[in-house]
Amino acid sequence: MRRRSIREEDLADLHGKVVLVTGGNTGIGYATIQMIARRGAKVYMGARNGARAAEAIERLKMENIGDGSVHWLELDLSDPRLASRAGMELIQQEERLDILINNAGLQSNKTPFKLTTDGLLDIMVVNYISHFVLTETLLPLMKRTAAEDGSDVRIVNVRASRLVPPPAKGNATQVTSYAHAEVAPETFSTKDAVNKDFGATVMGKFRTYGNTKLANILHIKELQTRLDAEGVRITCLASHPGVITTAGTEGAMGAVPLLGWFLTGVVARLFFKSWRVGAMPVAFAAAGPEVVGTQHAKYKGAYLTPMDVIATPSESARDSRLQKELHDTTARIVQELGL
């Protein structure tokens, strides 16, 4: 059963809290930062381009962030080494980290996907591997924060919505809120499996994108399992912002042959919500009081859809074997990178 629409006022008081949001100069990340800052948090905007980050921060101040604050953290997700460096920089600057929101990512319309100099698929690096490295780098700081009395430490992986072309027998306006469900890998035990590219067709690129989103959910579930086993009080969630319009979604829709003009010009305007509305479920995952309330156990490792509905992800996303295989293979890849 869906709850009432969540408002910013429903979020927890975040005064004294430190938050990192990857991405954020536009779209869902931008609106999430604004909402979190308005609740009193000190927020870091993890972004590669300092000039764009500065412009976004000035806009946020003009639009009102209350008594919260926003700061730039140089973060380049195209290379896991740089993601690790950013995490270490934050550790040098802060004595606590209460919320990590892994939001940034490449879209399915990026053409073509390519291998990095390390032989890794760029979209998997940006959307998953670098976020994995950033999270692992920051975990010691988050664990120390979680050990404090009354702490509420959370890690949120954001799954963005995409509209893609229909299957052979389907509706042209099919909205895929489950990009991760378009793939069902037999294994993640090899580097090739993590690195898989499904091809240059529109659907092939969408499946490649979906593979990165599956990795995000498996990452959250494996991390929650690991932290629970260690007795660490950190809540891990995957958040789906809903069907929203951003520059990325418009680009993805526009890339669809023939249907692109219809999808961007008609469907998006009729059925898609603004990115500010899309940010609300992410903000709830990060700061909704219910998450640590009497129903806390059900939120641990959960996959949330708007607004706070705990949904069931694909069978692959629930596979504990794939969770462990992905973690172990990613750890080996990261070790090969010298991290």
| Model pLDDT for residues 121-138, shown as the tens digit of each residue | 999 999 999 999 999 999
pLDDT band, very low/low/confident/very high, at 275 (cuts 50, 70, 90): low
Q: What is the pLDDT of residue 176?
A: 35
pLDDT band, very low/low/confident/very high, at 180 (cuts 50, 70, 90): confident
The dihedrals phi and psi of 311, each to the nearest 5 degrees, come to -105, 165
pLDDT band, very low/low/confident/very high, at 224 (cuts 50, 70, 90): very high
Tell me the pLDDT of the chain averaged across its residues: 85
- What are the DSSP E strand ranges found in the chain? 18-22, 42-47, 69-74, 99-102, 153-158, 162-163, 175-176, 234-239, 244-245, 273-274, 302-305, 309-311
Mean pLDDT, range 308-323, rounded to an integer: 90
Q: What is the pLDDT of residue 164?
A: 41
The first and second tokens of residue 85, run together, are 């460096």
Check whether 146 has a pLDDT greater than 50: yes
DSSP letter for 6, please: P
Q: What is the pLDDT of residue 198?
A: 92
* Cα of 164 vs its chain's centroid, Å: 19
Lowest mean pLDDT among 73-82, 166-175, 191-200: 166-175
Mean pLDDT, range 8-12, rounded to an integer: 90
The reply to whether 209 belongs to the active site is yes
The dihedrals phi and psi of 73, each to the nearest 5 degrees, come to -120, 120
pLDDT band, very low/low/confident/very high, at 5 (cuts 50, 70, 90): low
Beta strand pairing call for 99-102 and 18-22:
parallel
pLDDT by residue (tens digit) across 84-124?
Answer: 999 999 999 999 999 999 999 887 666 689 999 999 999 99
CB-based contacts of 172, cutoff 8 Å, min separation 6: 165, 166, 259, 262
The angle formed by the CA atoms of residues 158, 162 and 166, to the nearest 5 degrees, is: 145
Distance, in Å, from the CA atom of 108 to the CA atom of 113, rounded to the nearest integer, reads: 9
DSSP letter for 115, please: B
Element (H, E) at 283: helix 275-287
Alpha helix (H) residue ranges in the chain: 27-38, 50-63, 80-93, 122-124, 130-146, 191-194, 202-230, 247-254, 260-262, 268-271, 275-287, 296-299, 320-336
Percentage with pLDDT > 70 across the chain:
81
Distance, in Å, from the CA atom of 294 to the CA atom of 299, rounded to the nearest integer, reads: 10
Mean pLDDT, range 163-179, rounded to an integer: 41
**Active-site residue identified among 30, 44, 178, 209:** 209
* 165 close to 207: Cβ distance less than 8 angstroms: no
The first and second tokens of residue 214, run together, are 């599956």
8, with CB counted inside 10 A (0-12, 13-18, 19+), is middle
pLDDT by residue (tens digit) across 234-273?
Answer: 999 999 876 555 555 555 545 555 444 444 454 444 444 5
Q: What is the pLDDT of residue 7?
A: 80
Residue with structure tokens 């418009």? 250
Q: For the structural domain made of 8-336, what CATH number should be given?
A: 3.40.50.720
Distance, in Å, from the CA atom of 161 to the CA atom of 175, rounded to the nearest integer, reads: 8
pLDDT by residue (tens digit) across 22-57?
Answer: 998 888 899 999 999 999 999 999 999 999 999 999
Distance, in Å, from the CA atom of 60 to the CA atom of 128, rounded to the nearest integer, reads: 27
